[in-house]
Amino acid sequence: MHSARLIDVAVASEEQAAPAVSREMQELWFAIADRAWSSLLLVPSGTVEVLALAAGLCEVSYQTASPRPVALLDASGASLEQAAALARQLALRVARDERVLVVVDPVRDNPAALTLGSRCDKALLCVRLGQSDLPSSQETLERCGRDRFLGTVVLRPCKPSRR
């Protein structure tokens, strides 16, 4: 487990060359940007990794000069104690009229995900073709509250690594 952290996207983007973002990432950002949310939970179904997705969304928001700053809260691997501190950071950012993308572990694997998820306005369920299963996705929707979800992001299957 790594320690959870709040990433200041504007600073991170200025410190390094901005990565190219895919057309799909841009389309996803524009699909969610006009929706009413201050904190958006990116919750994986199964063992899907969503930090890169959240970072890409933050990068699109930065490159398009989003009218509200967007922060990334990486709560993957957070303990319950860390989740309480992260919830306070989340509340402070939202109070400053920032938008926050919150990345968590699958709710089945880490109770801290529900602690933070309950503090988010909206959510996206993140699934990967050939990897996520329907029962895990349904459990995630039920435990987080179906009414919170804006939709589902379907990620392509991972390409096998060449050796």
- Whether residue 114 is contained in a domain is answered as yes
Residue 161 domain-assigned? no
Q: For residue 1, what pLDDT band results from cuts at 50, 70 and 90? A: very low
Would 73 be classed as within a structural domain? yes
> Bridge-partner residues for 72, per DSSP?
7, 101
* Residues of the chain above pLDDT 90, percent: 65
Token representation of residue 110: 């880490």
Nearest one of 84, 112, 87 to 100, comparing CA atoms: 87
Structure tokens at 91: 């509340």
Q: How far apart are CA 13 and CA 63, in angstroms?
A: 9
pLDDT digits (tens, 9 = 90+) for 8-62: 544 344 444 445 678 999 999 999 999 999 999 999 998 888 999 999 999 999 9
Q: What is the mean pLDDT of residues 93-99?
A: 96
Range of the domain at 124: 5-155
Does 54 fall in a domain? yes
Please, are residues 82 and 112 in contact by the beta-carbon 8 Å criterion? yes
Prediction pTM value: 0.84
Please report whether residue 81 resides in a domain.
yes
* Count of the separate structural domains present in the chain: 1
Which pLDDT value is given to residue 12? 44
Query: Interhelix angle for 23-33 vs 51-63, to 10°?
Result: 80
CATH assignment at residue 60: 3.40.50.300
Whether 10 maps to a domain, the answer reads yes
Q: How far apart are CA 106 and CA 3, in angstroms?
A: 16
- Residue 162 located in a structural domain: no
Q: Binning pLDDT at 50, 70 and 90, where does residue 133 land?
A: confident
Q: Is residue 31 part of a domain?
A: yes
Give me the phi and psi of 97, to 5 degrees please: 65, 30
